[in-house]
Amino acid sequence: MILVWLMAILFAGGIGAALAESRGAEHPRAVALAAILIDLFLVILMLVAPDSLGLGTASTVAQLGQHGEWLVLLKAEWIPRFGVSFIFGVDGLSLMLVALTIFLGLIALGAAWGEIKQRSGFFYFNLLWTLAGVIGVFTSLDLFLFFFFWEVMLIPMYFIIAIWGHENKEYAAMKFFIFTQVSGLLMLLSILMLVYFHYSATNVLTFNYFQLLGTKLPANVATWVMLGFFIAFATKLPVVPFHNWLPDAHSQAPTAGSVILAGVLLKTGAYGLLRFTVPLFPDESVSFAPIAMTLGVVSILYTAKVAFAQNDIKRLIAYTSVSHMGFVLLGIYAWNAQAVQGAVMTMLAHGFSAAALFMLAGGLQHRIHTREMDKMGGFWGVAPKLSFMALFFTVAAVGMPGLGNFIGEFLVLLGSFQVSIIKTAFATMGVVVAAVYSLIVIQKVFHGKNKNNYVMADLSAMEFICYALMMIGLVWMGMYPQTMLDMAQPALQGLGVVFPR
């Protein structure tokens, strides 16, 4: 039940926040904070003391066969006529992503705290509903249910961009919506095809993930069905050439929106590939892997180059996100222990580093009302704390050993090298171009001279706490990644990744 509670609290909190606005503009954010804190408490409990919640492990697994270790599994009928049911479950992988979602929800709340003044009730409603949708995506194990939550997380985010965004928000929001909607439609078609073929083979109409696993599709159809899933998730991740919604959405979204987009929403794409695309279509994925890995490498290098040319700081960071997600794609399709673990680590670490960088960029925009780096410079002199944080998270994003992103990228490359030497060699060049675009940001914004004599407040206590938390997270991931690796391993084994001793 705890998973339902996690979502229900957010859904209810969202409605509560919307209603609370009539009592004053300050009230919604307090309601939202309460909801997220309760969730955070629950998820921490799940992480550190699963026994206290009576979470089942081995007994439930036994009924489900060899599908990894499910910490929680909940099953109830929904629309029995069509074989649709409520199946929620978390294994180590889902749980870490749920924890990341709630944690970054808190960070996003911190980012919105002083920034969102208008229609705050509706804003926090959307924020909490997006988070609830994402948690649903990370925990649903019924494809119909999964698709439902896929949509739930999209629409509130559309509103966040369209209402509280910047100068070109309608365009960006619409683009985000169409990209996600069209690719979602492809996924829906694929789900229906899969269910149909399963039905015609077994006479059982079901959307149950576990039952659909291992469904044999006619060879010519299978590839297309797999591609439907792949494109939906690749658009979300995003992967070149499906990435164009992202720079616009990011640069136009309010800070909290960017934090959730970069930190969490992108990971749903990676999660989908890991949980659904590859396990549902193992053979097709093997033959598709060279193409997917190539797309990953192209993403890494191509968007790094585009990022370098940007003048809008948020756009630049947005492109770097695509570049980093290229490593995730490369790792997932290399499909060995190191590569997939690396992909998971990159997802988590990038969740922190990108969220922090977008928050910094948003914070800068809030202070000086521009995102153009040409106008900036020398901010180290006026806001040393903010600059230090920017340096730290930039360095993390460059892949400095000792911080989480390095572990992810290193493991991805180590694993993918065993699959393709050439592609890995090109992907490794990504660390050079990452240095090129990252350091130019530091130079243009924080070093050099403060040409326009901007004066700005340094970090507030609230901001400082947010960054410090993410900093601790990245150092932990970098110095003792075993915590996360151990958690993900049984889940990944359940998905079919082989861990040789």
Partner 1 sequence: MLDLLWLVPTIPLIGFLILTFTQGKLSEVPAGIIGAGSIGLAFLVALLAGIEFIHSDAPFFSQHLWTWMSVGSFKAGFNLYLDGVSLVMMFIITGIGFLIHVYATGYMHDDPSFSRFFAYMNLFVAAMLMLVLGDNLLLLFMGWEGVGLCSYLLIGFWYTDPYNGYCARKAFVVTRVGDASMAVGLFLLFQSVGTLNIQDAMQLAQAQWPTAGGGTGLATAVTLLLLGGAVGKSAQLPLQTWLPDAMAGPTPISALIHAATMVTAGVYLIARTHILYMLAPDVQYLVGVIGCITLLMAGFTALTQSDIKKVLAFSTVSQIGYMFLALGVGAWNSAIFHLMTHAFFKALLFLTAGSVILGMHHEQNIFKMGGLRKDLPWCHWLFLIGTVALVALPFTSGYFSKEEILGAALAHHEGGYMLWLGGVAGAFMTGLYSFRLYFLVFWGKKTHDGHEVMRWNLQGPLVVLAVLALVGGYIVIPVEKVFPLVHEEHPSLMYQAIMIGLPMLGILVAWLVYVKGVIDTKKLAGSGLGAALHRFWFTQWGMDWLYDRLFVFPYVGLAKLNKNDFIDSFYNGTAWLVLALHGLFSDHQTGNLRWYSLTMICGVLLLVSIGVFL
Residue tagged 């911080």 (tokens): 403
Least CB distance to partner 1 at residue 475 (A): 11
Binding residues for partner 1 restricted to 383-412, rule: CB under 8 A: 384-385, 388, 395, 400-402, 406-407, 410-411
CB-based contact 489:499 (threshold 8 Å): yes
- The distance of closest approach from Cβ of residue 496 to partner 1 in the complex, given in angstroms and rounded to an integer, is 14
The rounded distance, in Å, linking the Cα atoms of 363 and 359 is 6
Residues 336-365 that bind partner 1 (CB under 8 A): 336-338, 341
Q: Is 435 in the site for partner 1 (CB under 8 A)?
A: yes
Angle, helices 461-479 vs 337-368, to 10°: value is: 160
Is residue 321 a contact residue for partner 1 (CB under 8 A)?
no
CA atoms within 13 A on the CB side of 501: 0
Copy the structure tokens of residue 127. Answer: 């924020």
* Cis check: omega of the bond before 290, within 30 degrees of 0: no
Contact yes or no for 5/53 (Cβ under 8 A) = no
Which residue's structure tokens are 């993410």? 470
Residues 157-186 that bind partner 1 (CB under 8 A): 175
Report CA-CA distances (Å) from 391 to 323, 382, 386, 407. 19, 15, 9, 19
**Contact status: 381 vs partner 1 (CB under 8 A):** yes
Q: Is 432 in the site for partner 1 (CB under 8 A)?
A: yes
Per rule CB under 8 A, is residue 333 in the interface with partner 1? no
Q: How many residues contact partner 1, by CB under 8 A?
A: 59
Shortest Cβ 200–partner 1 spacing (Å): 35
Does 370 participate in binding partner 1 (rule CB under 8 A)?
no
Q: Which is nearer to partner 1, 1 or 498 (CB)?
A: 498
* Residue from 70, 146, 417, 454 binding partner 1 (CB under 8 A): 417
Q: Is 285 in contact with 333 (CB distance < 8 Å)?
A: yes
Size of the chain in residues: 501
Instruction: Compare residues 6 and 484 and give the one whose CB is closer to partner 1.
Output: 484
In angstroms, rounded to a whole number, what is the distance separating the alpha carbons of residues 482 and 217?
A: 38
Q: What are phi and psi of 90, to 5 degrees?
A: -125, 135
Nearest to partner 1 of 8, 457 (CB atom): 457
Alpha helices per DSSP H over 53-166: 58-64, 92-113, 120-139, 143-164
- Residue 397 CB, shortest distance to partner 1, in Å, is 13
- H or E element that contains 85: strand 84-90
Nearer to partner 1, 1 or 421 (CB): 421
Residue number with CB closer to partner 1 (68 or 89): 68
Q: 79: which strand partners?
A: 84
- Tokens 């089942």, residue? 56
Shortest CB 407 distance to partner 1, Å: 6
Return the residues of window 237-296 that contact partner 1 according to CB under 8 A. 240-241, 243-244, 247
Q: Among 475, 423, 114, 312, which residue's Cα sits nearest to residue 123?
A: 114
Contact code string over 29-68 relative to partner 1, x by CB under 8 A: ----------------------------------------
Of 16-24, 105-113, 271-279, 427-435: span binding partner 1 (CB under 8 A): 427-435
CB of 213 to partner 1, least distance (A): 23
Least Å from the CB of residue 360 to partner 1: 17
Phi, psi of 279 (to 5 degrees): -65, -35
Orientation angle between helical segments 421-441 and 282-309, nearest 10 degrees: 30
Query: Alpha-carbon distance 171 to 142, whole Å?
Result: 34
Distance CA 368, CA 388 (A): 18
Residue 306 near partner 1 by CB under 8 A = yes
Sign of the alpha-carbon torsion through 489, 9, 252, 368: negative
Stretch of residues binding partner 1 (CB under 8 A), selected from 101-109, 194-202, 300-308, 347-355: 300-308
> Judged by CB under 8 A, does residue 501 bind partner 1?
yes
Stretch that binds partner 1, among 56-64, 132-140, 223-231, 379-387 (CB under 8 A): 379-387
Tell me: does residue 308 bind partner 1 (CB under 8 A).
yes
Per-residue buried b or exposed e for 436-449, using 16+ beta carbons within 10 Å of the residue's own CB: ebbebbbebbbbee
- With contacts defined by CB under 8 A, name the span among 34-42, 135-143, 253-261, 307-315 that binds partner 1: 307-315
Residue 413 sits in the site that holds partner 1 (CB under 8 A): yes
Q: State the residues that interact with partner 1 by CB under 8 A.
A: 175, 240-241, 243-244, 247, 305-306, 308-310, 336-338, 341, 378, 380-381, 384-385, 388, 395, 400-402, 406-407, 410-411, 413-414, 417-418, 421, 424-425, 428-429, 431-432, 435-436, 439-440, 443, 446-449, 479-482, 485, 489, 498-501
